[in-house]
Amino acid sequence: MSERIEMSCSHLDVLQEISNIGLGNAATALAELLKKKVDIAVPHASFLEMEQVFPLVGGLEEVVACVNLSFDGDVAGTVMYIFAEKSAYKLVDMLLGQEIGATGELSALGESVIMEIGNILTGSFMNAIGSMTGLTMQTSVPLFAFDMMGAILSASLVASGHWDEQVLLIETIFLQNNDQIKGHFFLLPGTGALDRLFEALGIPA
Amino acid sequence: MQLLPARENQVSQAVLVTEIQVGIAELKVAGHPDRLITFSLGSCVGVSLYDPFTRVGGLIHIMLPDSTQFNNVTKPAKFADLGIPLLFSEIRRYGARSANLQAKLAGGAQMFSGSNDKFELNIGGRNAMMARQTLKKLGIKILAEELGGNRGRTMILDTVSGQVFIRMAGSQLKVI
């Protein structure tokens, strides 16, 4: 837990609950799209310093897929979805109804599948925040990258101007039948965004 | 670093080569025969300085071009305008002579496809431009560049040869 943002357990609980609701909505949206059931579990949410984030996601040179979306309006910030290379391939298989392990490289179709998933997930998350707080936010067109984790994460952080601040990391797991795929969801709140969020939720800072 | 080509003298003289890691927004200086490495430059720019006569080298991992846009600067090595002059004075303290110095640059990519200028603001390009300008002001010659594009790069300076190795995901090692 940080000294700087002074997040109490109850604040984190609220954020995790919002994530649960948001990603639950995403699971429903996915199931409609795929005409079959996909569950999304959110086992863990935490606030982290930048330096702590990198090793959690993987090695600096490890290849990852990343969908990045910024938002502004009543509150501003960036949300990111990151999958390790192998998880990204598995996800493509799961969502295209192929046998897990069939995909071994990222095709244009695979890229658009991951982009679409990222879009649904981040969109559902933002909608959940919006409906729980009554705040209005506009999201940008999602951006995609597939390369070294360190390069992608640092470029995102620099571009969003969040280097010195903390980020909310939400671990997510996609479940279908017996298969599990892990991904990392990030919320990079803009200046004052968290205060405004908690105020709108009626939780004293 | 198994991916690096073996040096001719490495086995015969049994030289112990240390690989020194330069983190994001850090700078480091090392002498022959050590190597300096910085991982995964995206929009960040890596600048190496090398004196071929004293075989002293330095490496910096820059994140942003211009420190004057910020009120509270705690890490000068984060910025091209402050970090490069700092590396310049560090490497001279280590015995390198300014007239001998050769610079090599890598990174400055745009990592996201479909990127609008609004999001990435071409920070990579601005980092590269400010690095070049700052080197010019210091009178340091740029010997090689590996800039731009949309790929992440790991940069390694070999203080024995002055060669810089560039590693990209799924590509052959490149020497500049």
- Cβ pair B111:A156 closer than 8 A: yes
For residue A205, being part of any structural domain is answered with no
- How far is the alpha carbon of A158 from chain B, nearest alpha carbon, in Å? 7
Cβ contact A2:A166 at 8 Å: yes
Catalytic site residue B105? no
Residue A162's pLDDT is what? Answer: 64
CATH number of the domain within which B146 lies: 3.30.1330.200
Nearest to A158 among B43, B113, B152 (CB): B43
For testing contact with chain A, the best of B24, B113, B116 (most A CBs within 10 A): B24
Burial class (CB in 10 A: 0-12, 13-18, 19+), A18: buried
In a domain, B58, yes or no: yes
Please tell me the distance in Å from A152's CA to the nearest CA on chain B.
6
Structural domains in chain A (count): 1
Q: Least CA distance to A65: which residue of chain B?
A: B112
User: What does the alpha-carbon distance between residue A143 and residue B86 come to, in Å, rounded to a whole number?
Assistant: 35
Q: Provide, as residue numbers in chain A, all residues whose Cβ is less than 8 Å from the Cβ of B152.
A: 61, 147-148, 150-152
Residue tagged active-site, from B44, B84, B96, B135: B44
Closest-CA residue of chain A to B115: A143
Q: Does A24 touch chain B (CB under 8 A)?
A: no
Q: Rounded to whole angstroms, how far apart are CA atoms A169 and A123?
A: 17
In a domain, A158, yes or no: yes
Write out pLDDT tens, residues B40-90. Answer: 999 999 999 999 999 999 999 999 999 988 888 888 999 999 999 999 999
Residue B17 lies in a domain: no
Q: List, for residues B156-171, the tens digit of each pLDDT value.
A: 999 999 999 999 998 8
Q: What range does the domain containing B56 cover?
A: 24-175
C-alpha–C-alpha distance, residues A72 and B104, integer Å: 39
For residue A3, tell me if it sits in a domain: no
> In whole angstroms, what is the distance from residue A179 CA to residue A94 CA?
9
What local confidence, expressed as pLDDT, does residue A8 receive? Answer: 66
Report how far residue A120's alpha carbon sits from residue B91's, in angstroms, rounded to the nearest whole number.
Answer: 50
Greatest mean pLDDT range, A26-35, A151-160, B121-130: B121-130
* A27 is a domain residue: yes
CB contact under 8 A, B39 and A154: no
| CATH of residue A152 | 3.40.1550.10
Mean pLDDT over A118-127 rounds to 81
Across residues B77-106, what is the average pLDDT?
Answer: 96
What pLDDT was estimated at residue B80?
96
A96-106: pLDDT as tens digits: 888 888 888 88
A2 within a domain of the structure (yes/no): no
Domain that holds residue A13: 9-200
**Interface touch B111/A150, C-beta < 8 Å:** no
Q: Is residue A107 part of a domain?
A: yes
What ipTM goes with this model?
0.84
In a domain, A42, yes or no: yes
A15 lies in some domain: yes
Which residues of chain A from 77 to 116 reach within 8 Å of chain B, CB to CB? none
User: For residue B7, is it within any domain?
Assistant: no
Tens of pLDDT, residues B133-161:
999 999 999 999 999 999 999 999 999 99
